[in-house]
Every structure is written in structure tokens, then in C-alpha cells.
Amino acid sequence: RKRKAVIAGNWKMNNTPTEAGLLLEALIPGVHDADCEVVVCVPFTDLCNVVAKCAGTNVHVGAQNVHFEKSGAFTGEVSADMLLDLGVEYVVIGHSERRQYFGETDETVNKRTLAALNAGLKPIVCVGESLTQREQGVTEELVRMQVKIALKDVTEEQVKNVIIAYEPIWAIGTGRTATSDQAQEVCAAIRKVVGELYGNDIAEGMTIQYGGSMNPANAAELLAKPDVDGGLIGGASLHAGKFCEIVDAAT
Ligand code: G3H
């Protein structure tokens, strides 16, 4: 493997702080000898407990969104500085569920990415096409555009801290995984556009994940592809056993 894999669980809106503690008690011992980077991206309300539980372990902690302003009259929002101060390291940005249900656009994804990077958080920027877009043959064009806009004004130094997650919307939570060839094709296209923007060295160093119904049965084949450097795992990350098996497949 050219790059160290990053396996990130995205719990979405699941697990109370109490439930989070129980899940981590099962998960942490199961991944302690992982060769890959292990991340759990959890609801805001779980962060405090999860940061405490993961301290001194190899499990890194992420949030699932961040506001782009530093502070101010934005009721209900959470800033990058707030997350950083709590001990959070990663943040998922532009997940398709946020684009679909909460008005996220490529432009707000870019603003959040810049805010996260400026504060010192590592963004996991999600891109991916709908089924209609795939059928219309515009997947690569669309994903290229999503990447370009997300990374607008991101410096060469900053982009080294960015992870891009390719998540075809039709594969999320549907049990319908992209084939490993489909995942490879788009992850390679993402690396190509990063190369056009920042040069080959930076593109070769970037972590590009696949997400969408990744599970213990299909993880090894997906992760064997040269441009698939990890996974963003939804449903299967809610089960310690399944998540640990995926982590094992990445090592
Ligand atoms: O962020 C994770 C993805 O949306 C994948 O979710 O593994 O439940 O399909 P899933």
C-alpha cells in the first residue's frame, strides 16, 4: 500500500453519550494493533465522552460538521475552534446527507473546509454522484467540480491535511456497494484533479477514501485498489465487531 489507510466510522445521528461509551469499550481493544489510522466521527453531543475515552488510544476523534464562521450569532452552530479546544482532530464536511437535507452546497463545503483547516482540524471532504448523474455519464465531471470548488483557496501546505471521501450517493445506506473498479476509477480521477491543482507529489500523498455500504465482506477488495486509501463507514461502524473487521482488512 502506497499510503497509510484511514478507516473512519461515521456514526451519523446514532448513539447517545452513554451508548457511545459502550460501543467504544468494545471497539478500542479490537483496533489497538491496527496498522491503519482509525477515526470515529460522532455526534457533537458525544464528543466530550468520546475524546475522553479515546485519550491514550490509537482511536482518533472527528465531528460530522463544522460551521464556517469563527463565532457569533449563529444559533445552533459549532465552530472549528470549539471542536479543536475539545480535542477533536477530524471533521466530516459536505456529506451527501447534509447536501440533501440541510442545504449544503459546494460553496459552503469550501467555506467549512477553509475554516476547519485554518483552525487546525483535518477535514474529510465528501464528494459523489447520484444514481441519475451516474446514468447520465457525468460522474467524473461532477466529482472533479466538487473537488475543485471544495479546495478553492486551500494552500499547498493545508491540502496535505485534507482527506477526500468518494461516496456515490446510490451506495450510501443501500447495501449496494460500488464495485471495486468503480471506486478505483473515481478515486483515481480525484487524485488526478488534485494533481492538476497541486502537483503530483501532493496528489500521491493524499488520502482518498471510498464510502457507501462498505462492510467486512467487501472491504478487502475495495481497499486493495491502488487509489482507495481507506473507507468512510456508516452502518457497519455502529457494530464494534464489523468495524474492527474492516480495520483488519486495511492492515
Ligand atoms: O459516511 C458514511 C457513508 O455515508 C456510508 O454509509 O456505510 O451506511 O452506506 P453506509
Would you call 60 a catalytic residue per the annotation?
no
Ligand 1 atom 10 nearest Cα = 234
Ligand 1 atom 2 nearest Cα? 234
What is the best residue among 6, 7, 10 to mutate for testing ligand 1's pocket, by most ligand atoms within 8 Å of CB? 10
Work out which ligand 1 atom sits closest to the CA atom of 96.
4
Pocket test for ligand 1, best of 7, 92, 166, 214 (most atoms within 8 A of CB): 214
Q: Ligand 1, atom 3: nearest CA belongs to which residue?
A: 234
ipTM here? 0.98
Q: What is the pLDDT of residues 24-79, one digit of tens each?
A: 999 999 999 999 999 999 999 999 999 999 999 999 999 999 999 999 999 999 99
Q: How far is CA 48 from CA 55, 98, 99, in A?
A: 11, 23, 26
Kindly state the cell numbers that stand for 177.
456497494
In Å, what is the CA distance from 211 to each residue of 69, 153, 168, 171, 229?
Answer: 28, 26, 7, 8, 11
**Could you confirm whether 167 is annotated as catalytic?**
yes
pLDDT tens per residue, range 122-171: 999 999 999 999 999 999 999 999 999 999 999 999 999 999 999 999 99
Which atom from ligand 1 is nearest to the alpha carbon of 171? Answer: 9
Cβ-Cβ contacts under 8 Å for 105 (sequence gap 6 or more): 99
Q: How far is CA 149 from the centre of its chain?
A: 17
Does residue 1 have a pLDDT over 90?
no
DSSP letter at 45 equals G
Q: Ligand 1 pocket check: which of 129, 167, 170 to mutate, most ligand atoms within 8 Å of Cβ?
A: 167
Binding-site residues, ligand 1, Cβ < 6 A: 10, 95, 167, 172-173, 211-214, 232-236
Strand partners, 127: 166
